[in-house]
Structure 1
Amino acid sequence: MNETYDLADPMSWRKMHKPKPDQEISAASYKELLLRVLDEHRGWISNDDFLAIVQKIFGPIFSRADKRIIRGRPKWMNTVDWSKAVLSSTGIIHTRSHQRDGKRVTYIVLRSHAELIGWVTNKKQSARFKKVCSKCKSKRPLSETFCGEGAKGGCNYVFPQKKERVDKLPR
């Protein structure tokens, strides 16, 4: 199911339908929102500010699947990280961190604007997402359907099926 909203109109956010309890908001929804937000913020934003925007827009409609805690964080935050990793691997954005007032701050920068901020392009950062087998605790590639499918080792534990996802896209 695809649904749109106007990024500048909070009333349209409230009119979005809440997904079913077992549906998650898709990574594509977060990617599209991130690109729109970056466009409105002159090509860069701090990760904390972006998470606050996601919480403001999607927070009221997060399903039980989005709120599910995985390794100490809600699933929606992991999906946001995944969408940033996909955009980063395709060269659309850069994510970089540095210390500011004794605290680590992460920035998300459009590649088209990265030349303006030299320190953003200095360091190559790889995003390698893995899933952890709940039986043997080994880290496995996301593409595996059971533990040990693509490489030696593993306990042959069959990973659970992916949750159904819905797109919530800005107009």
Structure 2
Amino acid sequence: MRDEVVASGELDQLLRSDEDGRLRWLDHRQPGPPDANWWLHLLLLIDERWEERPAGRPAWAQLKIWLLGQAGWRGALEQGEVAERTAYYVAQMRDAAMAASSLPSADTVVRACLDAIPVSLDRVAVLTDRVDLHSLERQELLDSRRAKNLLNAAELLQADLEDPDLVDRLRAWLAIKPRLV
């Protein structure tokens, strides 16, 4: 049963369930060990429902955000990927005029992106010249690229931030973003 495609009735049931019901559904349906492809397919099905059912869009958006969190918590997706996907999705929903009350705050989403950066601002590899690429270790390159990807996502919500400390933290990262790998 776990390998089958999720039926539309099951997806509708998941949408109507409370958190305990959703957790039970996931416990029963998700593959073990965690399979990122299964989760990504489930998220795509949610996107289809969002498109097909305009009246239920806030509920589908909330379900997708909840599922992204569960995918990270259950180890199917890394926290950085969850933060990045959530930021892009929240920005997309804001652009689609989704009510802010249906979405996590920009502060929450941006904080998650910044917290997922695998290296501190003072230790991230930055380039002053493209020749510098050859002097960097592989992990330094990966961490710098991950930081840049998370900043690209977080930057979309910059105008909606309320916490001044978070605004300053994001600005400091954005100042070096052009020099990240």
Superposition TM-score, scaled by structure 2 size: 0.35
Superposition TM-score, scaled by structure 1 size: 0.37
Question: Which is richer in helix?
Answer: 2
Which structure ranks higher in relative contact order (CA pairs < 8 Å, sequence separation ≥ 6)?
A: 1
Question: Which is richer in strand?
Answer: 1
